[in-house]
Chains A and B, each alone.
Chain A
Amino acid sequence: MSGQSVPHDIYVHIAGIDIVRVDADTFYVLEDNARTPSGVSYMLENREIMMRLFPELFSRHRIAPVENYPDELLATLKSVAPLSAGREPNVALLTPGVFNSAYYEHSFLADKLGVELVEGRDLLVKNEIVYMRTTQGLKRVDVIYRRIDDDFIDPLTFRPDSVLGLPGLMSAYQAGNVTLANAVGTGIADDKAVYSYMPQIVKFYLGEEPILKNVPTWRCREEEHLAYVLDHLPELVVKEVHGSGGYGMLIGPTASKIAVEQFRAKLKTAPKNFIAQPTLALSTCPTCVESGVAPRHVDLRPFVLTGRDKTRIVPGGLTRVALKEGSLVVNSSQGGGTKDTWVLDG
C-alpha cells in the first residue's frame, strides 16, 4: 500500500474504538480496531430486544436511537465511491461465506443496508473494474464493504491458496476503480505497539492533544521498558502486539505464580512481541448472573463512520461485559456478553 492512494484519501471508514472508564471522569482508549471491527449487529439487536422487553423504561427515559446506523453506514459508503462510479454507486458487502463465525452479522447488515451480500465467487474483475454476476448480467461494483481479512482478499496479490477472495481485486483497487472499506493495510493500526504511539501521531498530524487518553503502555522492545515490566509483572497486564480476542495475554494480579513465571520466560525470548499496561480498574455494570444481579466489568465500542462529507456516529455502541466474576476479559470468544447501551438525551 506504500505509494498507493485510495479514493478520497480515506483509509478507515469504519472504526471500532474500545473505550474503558476507570473512574467517574476518566476514559481511556483501550484498543483501536481499524481492520474490520465487528459487533455492530449486537448493538442494533440488543436495542430491539430491550425495547420489546422494557417498553416502559424507554417511554420514561429519553434514549437516543441507534436504529439509523445502517442508513448512516450506507451514506458513508456511498460518499467514498470512486470518481469513476456512476451517480448511484453500487455498494456490496463481501463475506467469506456461511462458515464464517460472523456470517450472521454480514447477512444482517447487508439486509439492513439493502445491498447485495456477495462472496468472492459472485464477483469478477474485467479491465480493472469489479463486477458482480447477476440474473441480468454483469453489474459494476463501486464500493466493497469487505469483511474478509487482507490476506484472503486477492489470491493474485496475497495468499495464493485463498478461495474466498477475488483474483484481480487489487488491480482494480490500484487503478482507483473500486473503494475498499476499510482500506487494505489498516490492520496495522490494531497493532498494540503502534497503539502506544497514537497520542504522538495525533499530535503530529493534528497539532492537538488527543481528547481521549491512551492507557500508559510499556513497549517491551525497549530495554528500559522491558526492565520495568519484568520487575512489576504481577501488577501488569501484558498483551501480544498482534493478539486479538483476548488470547495470549497475562493479567498479572489474577494470574498464578507459575503462570507469571511462564510468561516471564516468553517475554524474555521475544520481548518485541509484547506490550504491558497497568491493570485498570474497569468500570462495572449491574448484570444478571446465576446468583442474581451482580457487578461485572465492561468496556464500550462505539462505531465511528468516516465518509468524504463528514464523520458520523450514532449515540450508542457495543458494550461488552465479562460474565465471570472479577474477570477483565470481555471478548465474546472468551465467554463475554453484550449489553444495550443508552445515551440519554436531555
Chain B
Amino acid sequence: MLSRTADNLYWLSRYVERAEYLARILDATQRLSSMPLAYVGSSNEWESAVLTAGCANAFFKQYEEANEENVTDFLAFSTANSSSIRSCFEMARSNARAVRTALTMEMWDSINGTWLELQRYGNGPTSREEFSRFLRWVQESSLRFDGSAYRTMLRNDAYWFSRLGVYIERADNTARILDVKYHLLLPDNERVGGPLDYFQWAAILRSVSALTSYHWVYRESLKPWLVADLLILKEEMPRSLASCYEAIVRNLDQVAGSYGRQGPAQRQARGIRTRLQNSRMDGIFQRGLHEFISEFITETNTLGGAITEQFLI
C-alpha cells in the first residue's frame, strides 16, 4: 500500500486514541479536584492533568494559572492546542478524508459523525453536567471507531498499521500518567503519603479504566506497587505497557509476515517487549521507577520513528 495511506491510517488511530485518553484524564481530574482537601491533599490536580497530557510548555505560554476553566478549555476545546480533544478529532477526520477509500463505510461514518457532533459542542459546555456528558461522548466515539475498525476492516496491512497507531499511542499515554504520578507509586509511599494518596491511586486506575480490573487481579485493597505492577507488567491488563507491546509486536509481525521481511522496527519492538517480560517490579523499583519510565517513553518514541522510517515515508 501507499506509504501516505499507511501513515494516514496510523495517525488517524493515534488521534482518536489520544482524544479518548485526554477525556479520561479530564474525567479523573474532575473527580479528584471535587473532593475535600482532607482526602486528596493540596496538590494542584489541574496542573498535573496538563503535565500528564504532555503539553505543559504550550499551556503556560498561554495561561498564567492551571485551574479548571483554563485546563478544560485547553485540553478539550482549544484550537491553539494541537493536541486538544477538538484538534485530535479534527485531524483524525482530515486524515480519514484523505484515505477515504482505505476505510470501511462504518469507520468513515463513525469518524465523520463524531466530527459533525463536535461542531455542535461549539466552544465548550455551559455546565459541569454538560462537560461530563461531553467526556463520556468522547470516550464512546473512540469506542465506536475502534469497534468499527475491529469489526469491519480486512485483516491486511491497512488494519495492522491502524492498530499500530492505537497501541503506540496507548503505550505512550499510560507511560505519561506513570511519569507524572510515579512518586505516588513508590513502595515507601504508603508510609509517607498514607491514606491521603488512596484517592490518587484510584484516580490513576480510573484514568486507564482499570479500577475494577485491579480488584479482580489482586483481590486486595489499593497498594501503590501493585498499581504500578498492573499498569506496567500485567499483560492481561489492556492499557498496561506490557499489553501494548504484546500488541505492537504482534501487529508488526503480521506486517513482516505479509511483506516477507523483518526490519529495525520489528527488532526494536521485540527488544522492548522482551525487557518488559523479563522485568519484576522490585527490580524496577531498585533501579528507579522514574528512570525506568523515562527510558520507556524515549524508547517508544524511537520505535515510532523507526516505524515511520521503515514504512510510512
Residues of A within 8 A of B (CB): 98, 107-108, 110-111, 116-119, 121-122, 132-136
State which of B2-10, B17-25, B38-46, B169-177 sits at the interface with chain A: B2-10
B101–A136 touching, CB < 8 Å: no
Alpha-carbon distance between A108 and B6 when the two chains are bound, in angstroms: 19
Question: Closest approach, in angstroms, between the C-beta of B163 and any C-beta of chain A?
Answer: 14
Q: What residue in chain A is nearest B98 (Cβ atoms)?
A: A98
Known: A98-B97, A110-B101, A111-B101. A133 touches B4 (CB 8 A): yes
A135–B157 touching, CB < 8 Å: yes
Answer yes or no: B311 CB below 8 A from chain A CBs: yes
B98–A135 touching, CB < 8 Å: no
User: Counting chain B CB atoms within 10 Å of each CB, which of A110, A118, A122, A133 scores highest?
Assistant: A133
Question: Closest approach, in angstroms, between the C-beta of B72 and any C-beta of chain A?
Answer: 32
Question: Closest approach, in angstroms, between the C-beta of A135 and any C-beta of chain B?
Answer: 4
Residues of B within 8 A of A (CB): 1-6, 97-98, 100-101, 157, 161, 255, 259, 311-313
A133–B101 touching, CB < 8 Å: no
B1–A134 touching, CB < 8 Å: yes
B101–A107 touching, CB < 8 Å: yes
Question: Closest approach, in angstroms, between the C-beta of A146 and any C-beta of chain B?
Answer: 16
A122–B4 touching, CB < 8 Å: yes
A135–B100 touching, CB < 8 Å: no
Question: Closest approach, in angstroms, between the C-beta of B2 and any C-beta of chain A?
Answer: 5
Q: Which of A107, A111, A116 sits near B2, CB closer than 8 Å? A: A116
B97–A133 touching, CB < 8 Å: no
Alpha-carbon distance between A116 and B98 when the two chains are bound, in angstroms: 13
Majority secondary structure, B binding face: helix
Q: What residue in chain A is nearest B313 (Cβ atoms)?
A: A133
Known: A116-B2, A118-B2, A122-B2. A135 touches B161 (CB 8 A): yes
Alpha-carbon distance between A26 and B151 when the two chains are bound, in angstroms: 55
Q: What residue in chain A is nearest B260 (Cβ atoms)?
A: A136
Alpha-carbon distance between A136 and B3 when the two chains are bound, in angstroms: 8
A133–B2 touching, CB < 8 Å: yes
A sample of 14 cross-chain residue pairs with beta-carbon separation below 8 angstroms, ordered by A number, consists of A111-B101, A116-B2, A118-B2, A121-B4, A133-B2, A133-B313, A134-B2, A134-B3, A135-B3, A135-B6, A135-B259, A135-B311, A135-B312, A136-B259
Provide the residues of chain A in CB contact with B100, threshold 8 Å: 107
Provide the residues of chain B in CB contact with A135, threshold 8 Å: 1-3, 6, 157, 161, 255, 259, 311-312
Task: Please name the 3 residue pairs, one residue from A and one from B, whose CB atoms are nearest each other, closest first.
Answer: A111-B101, A135-B311, A133-B3
Question: Closest approach, in angstroms, between the C-beta of A116 and any C-beta of chain B?
Answer: 5
Provide the residues of chain B in CB contact with A116, threshold 8 Å: 1-2, 5
Provide the residues of chain B in CB contact with A107, threshold 8 Å: 100-101
Question: Closest approach, in angstroms, between the C-beta of B287 and any C-beta of chain A?
Answer: 37
User: Counting chain B CB atoms within 10 Å of each CB, which of A107, A118, A119, A132 scores highest?
Assistant: A107
Question: Closest approach, in angstroms, between the C-beta of A203 and any C-beta of chain B?
Answer: 44
User: Counting chain B CB atoms within 10 Å of each CB, which of A111, A116, A121, A135 scores highest?
Assistant: A135
Alpha-carbon distance between A233 and B212 when the two chains are bound, in angstroms: 84
A132–B2 touching, CB < 8 Å: yes
Question: Closest approach, in angstroms, between the C-beta of A7 and any C-beta of chain B?
Answer: 24
User: Counting chain A CB atoms within 10 Å of each CB, which of B2, B5, B98, B255 scores highest?
Assistant: B2
User: Counting chain A CB atoms within 10 Å of each CB, which of B6, B98, B312 scores highest?
Assistant: B98
Provide the residues of chain B in CB contact with A133, threshold 8 Å: 2-4, 313
Alpha-carbon distance between A119 and B98 when the two chains are bound, in angstroms: 11
Given contacts A133-B2, A135-B3, 7 further A-B contacts (CB under 8 A): A118-B2, A119-B4, A133-B313, A134-B3, A135-B1, A135-B157, A135-B161
Alpha-carbon distance between A118 and B2 when the two chains are bound, in angstroms: 8
Question: Closest approach, in angstroms, between the C-beta of B69 and any C-beta of chain A?
Answer: 36
Provide the residues of chain A in CB contact with B311, threshold 8 Å: 135
Q: What residue in chain A is nearest B160 (Cβ atoms)?
A: A135
Provide the residues of chain B in CB contact with A98, threshold 8 Å: 97-98
B101–A117 touching, CB < 8 Å: yes
Q: What residue in chain A is nearest B3 (Cβ atoms)?
A: A133
Provide the residues of chain A in CB contact with B157, threshold 8 Å: 135
Provide the residues of chain A in CB contact with B312, threshold 8 Å: 135
Provide the residues of chain B in CB contact with A119, threshold 8 Å: 4
Provide the residues of chain B in CB contact with A117, threshold 8 Å: 101
Q: What residue in chain A is nearest B1 (Cβ atoms)?
A: A135
Q: What residue in chain B is nearest A108 (Cβ atoms)?
A: B101
Alpha-carbon distance between A111 and B100 when the two chains are bound, in angstroms: 9
Provide the residues of chain A in CB contact with B3, threshold 8 Å: 122, 133-135
Alpha-carbon distance between A116 and B3 when the two chains are bound, in angstroms: 11
Question: Closest approach, in angstroms, between the C-beta of A134 and any C-beta of chain B?
Answer: 6
Provide the residues of chain A in CB contact with B97, threshold 8 Å: 98
User: Counting chain B CB atoms within 10 Å of each CB, which of A118, A121, A134 scores highest?
Assistant: A134
Alpha-carbon distance between A137 and B255 when the two chains are bound, in angstroms: 13
Alpha-carbon distance between A104 and B259 when the two chains are bound, in angstroms: 30
Question: Closest approach, in angstroms, between the C-beta of B290 and any C-beta of chain A?
Answer: 36
Provide the residues of chain B in CB contact with A136, threshold 8 Å: 259
Alpha-carbon distance between A110 and B5 when the two chains are bound, in angstroms: 13
Provide the residues of chain B in CB contact with A110, threshold 8 Å: 101
Question: Closest approach, in angstroms, between the C-beta of B34 and any C-beta of chain A?
Answer: 43
Alpha-carbon distance between A132 and B313 when the two chains are bound, in angstroms: 11
Q: What residue in chain A is nearest B310 (Cβ atoms)?
A: A135
Q: What residue in chain B is nearest A118 (Cβ atoms)?
A: B2
Question: Closest approach, in angstroms, between the C-beta of B284 and any C-beta of chain A?
Answer: 35
